[in-house]
A and B are shown apart, each in its own frame.
Chain A
Amino acid sequence: MDFPILTVMMLVPLIGAVACLLAAPAARTIALGATLVTFGLGIVLWASYEIGGAQWQFHESYELVAGFSYAVGIDGISLMLIMLSVFLMPICILASWEAITKRVGEYMAAFLFMEVLMIGTFAAQDIFLFYIFFEAGLIPMYLIIGVWGGDNRIYASYKFFLYTLLGSVLMLIAMFWMVAQAGTSDIPTLMQYDFPPGAQLWLFLAFFASFAVKMPMWPVHTWLPDAHVQAPTAGSVILAGVLLKLGGYGFIRFSLPMFPEASADLAWLIFTLSMVAVVYTSLVALVQHDMKKLIAYSSVAHMALVTAGLFAFNVQGIEGAMMIMLGHGLVSAALFLCVGVIYDRLHTREIDRYGGLSINMPFYAVFFLLFTMAAVGLPGTSNFVGEFLALAGIYQASSWVALICTTGIILGAGYMLYLYRRVAFGTQKNEDAAAMPDMTPREWAMMAPIAAVVLWMGVYPESFLAPMRADIAALDAQIAAAAPASEAQLAAGEPRPEAANAVEYESHEGEGEH
């Protein structure tokens, strides 16, 4: 057997987590080392992933107890999401370097443990293994908010827990039914299994309950703003960067391939909720006074494009949705880091307490501007590619949905530029804000890599699209039969014989000077 790289990628942070608990004083260094090693392994993973090769690569499987096995393996979609996770992790450790002062060992351990669970979620090939990783990922996050969060952390973590618990029980029951029906818990096999259409509806709804909360979709989104506001910076980064992608991953991995008919039948529901979310949460974002809340609401609006893109049932929609997830993972993470940078200096998230920061923090203002523009979906940045493809896919399904979802680009420009104006532009009305120093080398090390990837993904997204191409094409082929007809109903007609501005003209003498 080959080198079990996926298992090793989980073992490294796991060992790191234990080490952090045991050797608390050195926890920061241990955590940074462990996450960097894992990131290095991630690069090896990406480099050795064979594009156009087998659908599932780096497969490992060990039978544990009857019907339950430790099976991991990845396709291109999993690969990209794992890369996103391991890339953001060292940055999170850096972001917590000075901000976290109490229980550092436990804190770092929680993060490393979460990294294990995230990699596990994206790599799991056994449906129960997936469930365990998927749900257990909440525990460290719950702790991070509840222990190291802000003043109202208990309420936020409680809300976070309550919401996410709601869906997971239903999903687990559905999983048991599926395994009993199909006789296997192997995810690749289940993806090919034809569940009876009558059952698909109920299975879809059970999974939907869990994924919709994770996404989060309107109206089960209200846990997100509170969780973000109370979470420490790094917690927000992981929450927005990776945990919000679990729902979308679930839709791609389970709902669409396993219940295609039900997905098509309920696409109207997804579309409706997504359209409401785009308009509703964008408008709510417009009136926020708290920076983190604003970005949290904007995340809900962006994630609505993901769900609408996925349920457009075409390649552009699904690839666009994946690219939004990757792009948003980077950009929203970076925006929360931007908030963190000034929060660490002034200890407030109140937008009005800042202003004129481009005077005393010019480099910070440049990074913040770049990420603001990326969040707005400016071409040349990561988010544009995703939003453009997703909306192009949605348009093929329905021009109404595309129109409503595209209004997000107007509203998004509104709330993001309004935020940027109040923070970075204007006069320096508060002395303490005006005295804040520009970014430290540690903060540069957090921002610069994300900025580079955001531009890379915007200018040459092929690096990210290529590994996923075959998998999404396969998914598209699989669900194509169930896809609803395009609403456009293009009908050929007899071409008109002449151009619109055809002018009768007979040559005659005396054309004048002009």
Chain B
Amino acid sequence: MDPILIIVFAPLLAAIIAGLGNKALGKTGAKLVTTGGLFLSAALSWPIFLGFLGGSTSEYVVPVLKWVQSGDMTFDWALRVDALTAVMLVVINSVSALVHLYSWGYMEDDPDQPRFFAYLSLFTFAMLMLVTADNLVQMFFGWEGVGLASYLLIGYYFRKPSANAAAIKAFVVNRVGDLGFMLGIFGTFLVFNTTSIPEILAAAPAMSGSTMTFLGMRLYTMDILCILLFIGAMGKSAQLGLHTWLPDAMEGPTPVSALIHAATMVTAGVFMVCRLSPMFETAPTALTMVTIVGAATCFFAATIGTTQWDIKRVIAYSTCSQLGYMFFAAGVGAYGVAMFHLFTHAFFKALLFLGAGSVIHAMHHEQDMRYYGALRRKIPVTFWAMMAGTLAITGVGVLGVFGFAGFYSKDAILEAAWARGTGVSQFAFWAGAVAALLTSFYSWRLMFLTFWGKPRWIESEHIQHSVHKTPQEAGEDTTGGYHPHESPWVMLVPLLVLTIGAVFSGYVFKYPFIDGSSDAVDGAFWAGSIYFNENLVHALHGVPLWVKLTATAVMLIGFLGAYVAYMAKPGIPAKFVATFGALHNFVYRKWYFDELYNAVFVKPSFWLGRQFWKLGDIGTIDRFGPNGVAALVQRGSVAAKSIQSGYLTTYALIMLLGLIAAVTFVLL
């Protein structure tokens, strides 16, 4: 049996066993089965990845089962393994296995653990189906499958109204993107008469000059197809306009945020663009859109990240922003670099989320950073892990010596945007540079508020519940006598493993991802699984020195800003808010997207539904239709009453007579 079959189906099997065997298996059984399944998958994934790294493995497809054949349209269940898939396999399975393990500790007091672990494994299965897809429809299957798992996990605490609302929002907003994805698949089938990804990619260049009509507009075929598919990617990857679900998704348990809403599912859109990169390369307008949307998102989300108080929301906006980086990297043609950032980001962002989970665990479920402070010595392992994550995301490093993961991947993105040399790519470069400054600012703000300064714990209601004191009763002692405890080892071990990834994954893997191999720019590692733009990679290595140093410089400025505002002169943020109240409110309220969508889409939908129902169905159709006739009948006839006597035989007789009468009438 091919290992890929085990990799993909072990999590499904584990999910079914844990989910349905819930009662018989018990908590520990369910946890063992799912976690064991994931560690097995992870262990089998690394050799495949290393095989591609060493050049000893080449792409192959394992057919599984026939799926649909309808006229010319056929698509089957099959597992495709190539370099791009291999990257995703290690990311998904490694992070998922660690998150499973971490959840043993984090979810320890939860009564519904088998359900939780079953969902996690189900998610992993769907994600694996997505990245191993050989045709667009199976990719869509995985796409929707992860959407389902995300919905279930966001709404995991289903007694909470906010969790339910967030779950529905995530599903429905994603469906808006899916509408684009589906239309994209339909259009692709119309043009290429196939849904097989390799066949589409092979045929795409020849179609680059063709045109077609879409909604009455005459457009370049490849542009419209790629734009439609990209709309799907925007939904799943929370890009500007379809991003509103991601921050709310933080209602889910923190391990879920780490796995689904940081490391894996939200990167599916980036994966899709990279998977279809030869197709996107035939669509200049679509790529321009990818670049602009990505750059705008990376700036926009970073601004919001600087104002939020909820530790998870800060990291959520950070994720949104980092996904923007990946998209504009893809937009300028640096798909390998986009995948590199996806890879490193998976480790350090999962680390930051799990670290935040550890803080929340220590602080009795308090998530508001205003009530943290001075936790550095209380939870030292968590602190150092978060520190590694922060160094990685802000891109700390020295050119030519060593850097943390983000140093290599984010810098390469900015260099690629500069090297691409068009107006749009310049815009992306500057947006990315400003966002890097903001990234550094909000990341250090998070660190300073959480780990430095004075304890502000007693202000938190959660802590008050724990210590049974009000702030007045606590008086001078702002800890309220609360003792934060470091998390158990089962949570710390995943943190430490991810720390290794956050520190070294950039340094170790930069050559294969960006160049293809360590001694030449040849794309050898990718082996045709993405579009490898050799000239662009040469050009990104040749950018001026100041471009290379830009990311480091803005990182330092952001750090200094955060240091001054939250350590040296803590009065500054309040003063800033007082002076620029309108601006702060605009950013703090997330640019009013939720309010806008509520006013434009949600409320009108319900209003229209009521109008159609009351005025359309009841007020018009029924009134002049059946009720009108009924009124006419009832006015003149008592017979109607006797018909409604409720006796079966009478009904049967009348129905029969009616039928006979109708038949006789026509026969005569």
> A residues engaging B (CB < 8 A)?
103, 106, 132, 135-136, 138-139, 142-143, 146-147, 154-155, 158-159, 162-163, 165, 168-169, 172-173, 176, 219-220, 222-223, 225, 280-281, 283-288, 314-316, 319-320, 356, 358, 362, 373, 378-380, 384-385, 388-389, 391-392, 395-396, 399-400, 402-403, 406-407, 409-411, 413-414, 417-418, 421, 424-427, 459-462, 465, 469, 473, 476, 486-496, 499-505, 507-508, 510-514
- Distance between A412 CB and nearest chain B CB, rounded to angstroms: 8
> Residues of B within 8 Å of A, CB-based: how many?
110
Query: Does A378 lie within 8 Å of B144, measured CB to CB?
Result: yes
Query: Does B280 lie within 8 Å of A286, measured CB to CB?
Result: no
- Distance between B641 CB and nearest chain A CB, rounded to angstroms: 10
Partner of B70, one of A159, A315, A410: A315
Q: What are 22 pairs between A and B in contact, CB < 8 Å?
A: A139-B652, A147-B646, A158-B626, A159-B626, A283-B612, A284-B609, A358-B158, A380-B141, A380-B144, A389-B70, A395-B190, A399-B215, A407-B179, A411-B605, A413-B175, A465-B70, A488-B214, A494-B209, A496-B209, A499-B533, A503-B533, A505-B542
Q: Is B83 an interface residue (CB 8 A)?
A: no
Query: Does B510 lie within 8 Å of A499, measured CB to CB?
Result: no
Query: Does A409 lie within 8 Å of B175, measured CB to CB?
Result: yes
Query: Does B159 lie within 8 Å of A316, measured CB to CB?
Result: no
Residue of chain A at shortest CB distance from B647: A147
Query: Does B205 lie within 8 Å of A403, measured CB to CB?
Result: no
CA distance A179 to B411 in the complex (A): 78
6 more CB-based (< 8 A) A-B contacts, given A392-B186, A461-B67, A514-B411: A222-B626, A395-B190, A400-B215, A417-B151, A492-B209, A510-B542
Q: Is B504 an interface residue (CB 8 A)?
A: no
Q: With a CB–CB cut-off of 8 A, which chain A residues contact B164? A: 421, 425-426
Q: With a CB–CB cut-off of 8 A, which chain B residues contact A138? A: 655
Q: With a CB–CB cut-off of 8 A, which chain B residues contact A163? A: 625-626
Query: Does A501 lie within 8 Å of B536, measured CB to CB?
Result: yes
Partner of A426, one of B158, B221, B606: B158
Query: Does A417 lie within 8 Å of B148, measured CB to CB?
Result: no
Q: Is B302 an interface residue (CB 8 A)?
A: no
- Looking at the complex, which of B353-361, B413-421, B469-477 is the stretch in contact with chain A? B413-421
Q: Is B176 an interface residue (CB 8 A)?
A: yes
- Distance between B344 CB and nearest chain A CB, rounded to angstroms: 13
CA distance A392 to B188 in the complex (A): 10
- Judged by DSSP, the binding face of B is helix
CA distance A225 to B69 in the complex (A): 35
Whether A491 contacts B212 in the complex (CB less than 8 A), given A143-B648, A373-B148, A395-B186, comes out as yes
Query: Does B666 lie within 8 Å of A172, measured CB to CB?
Result: yes
Query: Does A284 lie within 8 Å of B613, measured CB to CB?
Result: yes
Query: Does A417 lie within 8 Å of B626, measured CB to CB?
Result: no
Query: Does B68 lie within 8 Å of A389, measured CB to CB?
Result: yes
Q: Is B65 an interface residue (CB 8 A)?
A: yes
- Distance between A228 CB and nearest chain B CB, rounded to angstroms: 14
Residue of chain B at shortest CB distance from A412: B175
Q: With a CB–CB cut-off of 8 A, which chain B residues contact A507? A: 538
- Distance between A158 CB and nearest chain B CB, rounded to angstroms: 7
Query: Does A487 lie within 8 Å of B213, measured CB to CB?
Result: yes
- Distance between A176 CB and nearest chain B CB, rounded to angstroms: 6
CA distance A469 to B72 in the complex (A): 12
Query: Does B415 lie within 8 Å of A461, measured CB to CB?
Result: no
CA distance A284 to B607 in the complex (A): 10
CA distance A511 to B144 in the complex (A): 44
Query: Does B535 lie within 8 Å of A503, measured CB to CB?
Result: yes
- Distance between A328 CB and nearest chain B CB, rounded to angstroms: 17
- Looking at the complex, which of B312-320, B589-597, B614-622 is the stretch in contact with chain A? B614-622
Q: Is B600 an interface residue (CB 8 A)?
A: no
- Looking at the complex, which of B1-9, B85-93, B282-290, B575-583 is the stretch in contact with chain A? B282-290
Whether A106 contacts B648 in the complex (CB less than 8 A), given A223-B626, A425-B155, A513-B399, comes out as yes
Whether A392 contacts B545 in the complex (CB less than 8 A), given A146-B651, A176-B666, comes out as no
Query: Does A499 lie within 8 Å of B281, measured CB to CB?
Result: yes
Query: Does B616 lie within 8 Å of A280, measured CB to CB?
Result: yes
Q: Is B454 an interface residue (CB 8 A)?
A: no
Q: Is B332 an interface residue (CB 8 A)?
A: yes
Query: Does B646 lie within 8 Å of A427, measured CB to CB?
Result: no
Whether A503 contacts B186 in the complex (CB less than 8 A), given A314-B71, A400-B216, A489-B212, comes out as no
Q: With a CB–CB cut-off of 8 A, which chain B residues contact A143? A: 648, 651-652, 655
Whether A379 contacts B145 in the complex (CB less than 8 A), given A500-B333, A503-B533, comes out as yes
- Distance between A76 CB and nearest chain B CB, rounded to angstroms: 13
Residue of chain A at shortest CB distance from B151: A417
Query: Does A414 lie within 8 Å of B159, measured CB to CB?
Result: no
The 9 closest A-B pairs by CB, nearest first: A501-B333, A493-B209, A315-B71, A395-B186, A283-B609, A505-B535, A379-B141, A511-B541, A287-B609
Q: With a CB–CB cut-off of 8 A, which chain A residues contact B179? A: 403, 406-407, 409-410
Q: Is B423 an interface residue (CB 8 A)?
A: no
Which has the most chain B C-beta neighbours within 10 Å: A154, A280, A284, A501?
A501
Partner of A493, one of B140, B155, B172, B210: B210
Query: Does B612 lie within 8 Å of A280, measured CB to CB?
Result: yes
- Distance between B574 CB and nearest chain A CB, rounded to angstroms: 38
Interface string of B615-649 (1 = CB under 8 A from A): 01100011001100110000000000000101010
Query: Does B70 lie within 8 Å of A316, measured CB to CB?
Result: yes
Query: Does B71 lie within 8 Å of A320, measured CB to CB?
Result: no
Query: Does B282 lie within 8 Å of A409, measured CB to CB?
Result: no
Among residues 434 to 491 in chain B, which have CB atoms less than 8 Å away from a CB atom of chain A?
Answer: none
Q: Is B548 an interface residue (CB 8 A)?
A: yes
Partner of A514, one of B212, B213, B280, B510: B510
Q: Is B178 an interface residue (CB 8 A)?
A: yes
Q: With a CB–CB cut-off of 8 A, which chain B residues contact A285? A: 609
Q: With a CB–CB cut-off of 8 A, which chain B residues contact A384? A: 144
Q: With a CB–CB cut-off of 8 A, which chain A residues contact B548? A: 512, 514
Among residues 125 to 172 in chain B, which have CB atoms less than 8 Å away from a CB atom of chain A?
Answer: 137, 140-141, 144-145, 148, 151, 155, 158-159, 161, 164, 167-168, 171-172
Partner of B287, one of A319, A378, A426, A501: A501
Q: Is B610 an interface residue (CB 8 A)?
A: yes
Query: Does A513 lie within 8 Å of B213, measured CB to CB?
Result: no
Q: Is B568 an interface residue (CB 8 A)?
A: no
Which has the most chain B C-beta neighbours within 10 Å: A135, A172, A219, A284?
A284
Partner of A508, one of B72, B167, B176, B542: B542
Q: Is B101 an interface residue (CB 8 A)?
A: no
Query: Does B68 lie within 8 Å of A465, measured CB to CB?
Result: yes
Query: Does B212 lie within 8 Å of A488, measured CB to CB?
Result: yes
Q: With a CB–CB cut-off of 8 A, which chain A residues contact B71? A: 314-316, 319, 473, 476
- Distance between A488 CB and nearest chain B CB, rounded to angstroms: 5
Q: Is B40 an interface residue (CB 8 A)?
A: no
Q: With a CB–CB cut-off of 8 A, which chain B residues contact A508? A: 542
CA distance A302 to B384 in the complex (A): 55
